[in-house]
Chain A
Amino acid sequence: MEQLTHQILSGLATGGIYASLALALVMIYQATHLVNFAQGEMAMFATYLAWALLQAGVPYWGAFAITVASAFVLGVVIERVIIRPVEDSPILVIVIVFIALLVIFNSVAGWIFSYTIKPFPSPFPAQPLFGNSYVSSHELGSTAITLVVLLLLFVFFRFTPLGLAMRAAAQNPVSSRLVGIRVGWMLALGWGLAAAIGAVAGMMVAPTVFLEPNMMGGVLLYAFAGALLGGIDSPGGAVLGGFIVGVLENVVGAYVGTELKLTLALVVIVGVLVVRPSGMFGRVNVVRV
């Protein structure tokens, strides 16, 4: 029993990371109806930036803030410079651009920082907090940070005029222009936010998976499974799905076998797509023909 509790709690910790990355995927999906395959590599690249800053002697939270801000700017620039020109192209073209971004970030990171695996520090103490024996401080701390990020996003989208405008631009660009919203900028902002969320997720997951150019491959797959499970067009669903996948992954890893962890993500993806493509909370789109 105690072991199960332990597994579930640390599953929630990694689940939080999947949840935030799943949310980043959903944000871009809602605006463009495409999954950004490069989301994970963008997060990885941001984490390398954080590492480089730490190497240069910047204190952890300073490096954290600079990294999140730079990731935001990078996301905006990618949307404006790379995605904008192909916006109206056929889906296949855009998917190829996403995959190209993935490969470019991966190789550039390997070229600059080499493919050797590096340790990445956690900002939280090595001893468990409050003398508990269930969760490490990093698990507890990263869950807290994830929850803060999710809460901030919720407040931003729900209660600020800019958040409302971004939601409007994602669901009805034509009407949005007619009330004076600069739709192009809203999409770019969405990319910036998604990249910033990814950067936080990368920095929180790096102490566990270690820093290397392929570190986000598995994480993105779990996040994608979580997003699909919750519903790819439902932000709340994606967050819940991320947590569920995190717990499942950990429990399966502990009781069935570690080899099956990644398989689980694929099983969830295929299972959802076959049984209920809209996920738990997604909308079923009925099109009249």
Chain B
Amino acid sequence: MSAAAPPGARLLEVRGLHAQYGPTKVLHGLDFDVAEGGITTILGANGAGKTTTLRAVCNMVRTEGQIVLAGARIDGLATENIVRKGVAHVPDGRGTFLNLSVEENLRLGAYTRRDRSQVETDFERVYGYFPRLKERRHQQAGTLSGGEQQMLAVSRALMLRPRLLLLDEPSFGLAPMVVQHLFEIFRTINAQDRIGMLLVEQNASMALRLAQHAYLLETGRVVVSGPAEAIRNDETVRRSYLGY
């Protein structure tokens, strides 16, 4: 299968992405896209380079290659400046500020925004998605359960009002019910606000049902790519790479 780009305007265009930790090369020239308002998923086994791909987009590892966000190069910018261009990252491990309250965690998500009144409406919006967070808003975030911390991580990212949301295994360690709810919310946000998403997942079947376009990674290279629908229905790909 060719590395065909998803249709429509591109929000994120990545060409020839290499990344390394110290002397260890992890990514060997990836090409992928996220369409404007689209959802792209990156699948692969442990150690394939999925998390590194997201980190590379945010310049959190040593990276080479071309990364274009809405027509402007962002590769080489400092992480905090990439964030300021509207890229929100729900990181591996959730990245909770453990000693701060739930509300302070969310407030930090909106740190770069200056539209105060809009921020207050966004508080209500994420509390609407996750009422549990509202109940616990004065609680120290470190006391939340794993699922609640994942909701917090997603909410914190949404508080940026991002154009592009990077999601690193949001289903990790969560009960199936919670995963369903979370993916439902991704669908809503995507439909309502046309936020583009780059989703990295172990849970391939969930991811392929949410995304329009998918890439399969194997040891730092794209081995298969195409419309999510087609990959989902491709028996050989499913058996050999996705194992379900």
Q: A-side interface residues toward B, CB under 8 Å?
A: 161, 164-165, 167-168, 171-172, 174-183
Select from chain A the residue with minimum beta-carbon distance to B95. Answer: A175
Distance in Å: Cβ of A235 to nearest Cβ of chain B = 12
B interface residues with partner A (beta carbon < 8 Å): 58, 60, 78-80, 83-84, 88-89, 91, 95-100, 104, 107-109, 111-112, 156, 160
- Taken together as a complex, chains A and B put the C-alpha atoms of A179 and B89 apart, in Å, by 8
Interface pair B100/A179, CB less than 8 Å apart: no
A182-B79 Cα distance, complex, nearest whole Å: 9
CB pair A178 B111 closer than 8 Å:
no
Query: In the complex where A178-B58, A178-B79 touch, is A164 in contact with B108 (Cβ < 8 A)?
Result: yes
Bound form: Cα–Cα A165–B78 in Å:
17
**Nearest CB to that of A165 among chain B residues?**
B111
Can you pick out 13 interface pairs between chain A and chain B where the beta carbons lie within 8 Å of each other?
A: A161-B111, A164-B100, A164-B107, A171-B98, A172-B95, A175-B96, A177-B60, A177-B80, A179-B111, A180-B83, A180-B112, A180-B160, A183-B80
- Asked if A181 and B111 sit within 8 Å, CB to CB, the answer is yes
- Having A172-B98, A178-B95, A179-B156, one finds 6 other A-B pairs with CB under 8 Å, namely A164-B100, A164-B108, A168-B108, A172-B95, A177-B83, A181-B108
Query: By the criterion CB–CB under 8 Å, are B97 and A178 in contact?
Result: no
Q: Identify the closest chain B residue to A167 (Cβ).
A: B100
Question: Cβ of A175: which chain B residues have Cβ within 8 Å of it?
Answer: 91, 95-97
Q: Which residues of A contact B79 (CB under 8 A)?
A: 177-178
Q: Which residues of B contact A178 (CB under 8 A)?
A: 58, 79, 83, 88-89, 91, 95
Give chain B residues whose Cβ lies under 8 Å from the Cβ of A161.
Answer: 107, 111
The smallest beta-carbon distance between B30 and chain A, in angstroms, is: 21
Known contacts: A168-B97, A172-B97. The answer to whether A179 contacts B112 by CB under 8 A is yes
A175 CA to B160 CA in the complex, in Å? 13
Which of B60, B84, B91, B100 lies in contact with A168, CB distance below 8 A?
B100
Query: How distant is the Cα of A164 from the Cα of B96 in the complex, in angstroms?
Result: 14
Are B95 and A181 in contact (CB-based, < 8 A)? no
- With CB as the reference atom, state the residue of chain B lying closest to A172: B97
Give the docked Cα–Cα distance between A172 and B108 (Å).
12
Residues of B within 8 A of A177 (CB): 60, 78-80, 83
Chain B nearest CB from A288 CB (Å) reads 14
Alpha-carbon distance between A110 and B109 when the two chains are bound, in angstroms: 48
B contact residues around A168 at 8 Å (CB): 97, 100, 104, 108
Residues of chain B within 8 A (CB-CB) of A165 are: 108, 111
- B111 x A174 contact (CB < 8 A): no
Other-chain residue from B84, B97, B100 in contact with A180 (beta carbon distance below 8 A): B84
Question: Which 6 A/B pairs are nearest by Cβ-Cβ distance?
Answer: A175-B95, A180-B112, A180-B83, A177-B79, A179-B108, A178-B89
For the complex, give the distance between the alpha carbons of A171 and B84 in Å. Answer: 21
- Contact yes or no, A171 B108, CB < 8 A: no
Cβ–Cβ contact A180 & B111, under 8 A: yes
Minimum CB–CB distance from B143 to chain A (whole Å) comes to: 14
Q: Which of A171, A176, A179, A183 contacts B99 (CB 8 A)?
A: A171
Determine if A181 and B91 form an interchain contact, defined as CB atoms under 8 angstroms apart: no
Nearest residue in A to B104 (C-beta to C-beta)? Answer: A164
A174 and B108 contact, Cβ closer than 8 Å, known pairs A179-B160, A180-B83, A180-B84 = no
Q: Is the CB of A174 within 8 A of B160?
A: no
Chain A residues whose CB sits within 8 angstroms of the CB of B83 once the complex forms: 177-180
Interfacial chain A residues near B111, Cβ < 8 Å: 161, 164-165, 179-181
A180 contact set on B, CB distance < 8 A: 80, 83-84, 111-112, 160
Task: Tell me how far the C-beta of B225 lies from the nearest C-beta in chain A, rounded to whole angstroms.
Answer: 27
In the complex, A164 Cα to B60 Cα: how many Å?
23
Chain A residues near B108: list those with CB within 8 A: 164-165, 168, 176, 179, 181
A185, closest chain B residue (CB): B80
Within the complex, the shortest CB–CB distance from A285 to chain B, in Å, comes to 12
Give B94's nearest chain A residue, CB to CB.
A175
Contact present for B91 and A179 (CB under 8 Å): no
Q: Could you tell me the distance between the alpha carbons of A106 and B97 in the complex, rounded to whole angstroms?
A: 39
CA of A176 to CA of B100 in the docked complex: distance in angstroms?
12
Residue of B nearest to A176 (CB): B108
Nearest to B79 among chain A residues (CB) is A177
A165 to B111, CA, bound (A): 8
Q: Could you tell me the distance in whole angstroms from the C-beta of B164 to the nearest C-beta in chain A?
A: 13
Q: What's the minimum C-beta distance from A155 to chain B, rounded to whole angstroms?
A: 15
CB B93 to nearest CB in A, in angstroms, measures 9
Q: Which residues of A contact B109 (CB under 8 A)?
A: 179
A180 to B160, CA, bound (A): 9
> How far is B108's CA from A171's CA once the two chains are assembled, in angstroms?
13
Q: How far is the CB of B200 from chain A (nearest CB, A)?
A: 15
**Bound complex: CA A165 to CA B97 (Å):** 11
